[in-house]
């Protein structure tokens, strides 16, 4: 059975994932000067296993290079697991001058259509509802940053960087900052 076409197909899938992570990291490097309140995300479940997969793929790539075989698929997977996945953890989650870096992506303040807090034992989760797309993103806020995050969000609403208008009759009696 020839697995080479499957490995090439996987390689192109990981090439897309690698490109996405590189673009995210470059966006972060440009934005980090405007950080208002950020923190490092917690390690994802099975983080050590992902690094172990990266090490195993590295050994496999070296073996296949020495053997003179095609390594595209394995190389793309190695770059993802051994380098880009750990590098993506350096992206500071939190609040920037022009938006919020949630757990999955960056959301500009003018795209935020609603927010909601879910409080846990050690941390809180901010649910950010997109005005442009029909989806919500989450941002896990550490307990020691919770108060500052609520104040910063309230200030951004007060500055009208985040606007919740357009729901029902707007008679001017509702202060949007109370929504936080």
Q: What is the pTM of this model?
A: 0.80
Distances in Å between the alpha carbon of 76 and those of 19, 81, 123, 172?
10, 9, 35, 55
Helix (H, G, I), strand (E, B), or coil: what is residue 96? strand
pLDDT grade for 168, boundaries at 50, 70 and 90: very low
Q: Which of 167, 22, 8, 140 is closest to 74 using CA atoms?
A: 8
Dist. CA 158–CA 176, nearest whole Å: 7
pLDDT tens string 81-94: 999 999 999 999 99
Token look-up 């949007």 returns 176
pLDDT tens string 8-39: 999 999 999 999 999 999 999 999 999 999 99
């Amino acid at each position: 059975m020839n697995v080479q076409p499957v490995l090439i197909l996987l390689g192109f899938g990981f090439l897309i994932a690698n490109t996405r992570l590189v673009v995210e990291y470059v966006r972060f490097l440009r934005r980090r000067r405007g950080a208002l309140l950020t923190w490092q995300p917690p390690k994802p479940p099975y983080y050590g296993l992902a690094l172990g997969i990266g090490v195993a793929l590295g050994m496999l790539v070296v073996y296949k290079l020495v053997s003179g075989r095609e390594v595209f698929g394995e190389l793309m997977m190695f770059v993802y697991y051994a380098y880009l996945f750990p590098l993506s953890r350096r992206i500071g989650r939190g609040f920037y001058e022009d938006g919020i870096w949630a757990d999955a992506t960056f959301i500009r303040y003018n795209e935020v259509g609603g927010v909601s807090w879910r409080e846990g034992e050690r941390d809180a989760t901010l649910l950010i509802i997109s005005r442009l797309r029909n989806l919500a993103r989450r941002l896990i806020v550490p307990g020691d940053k919770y108060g500052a995050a609520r104040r910063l969000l309230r200030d951004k609403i007060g500055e009208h960087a985040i606007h919740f208008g357009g729901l029902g009759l707007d008679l001017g009696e509702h202060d949007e900052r109370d929504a936080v």
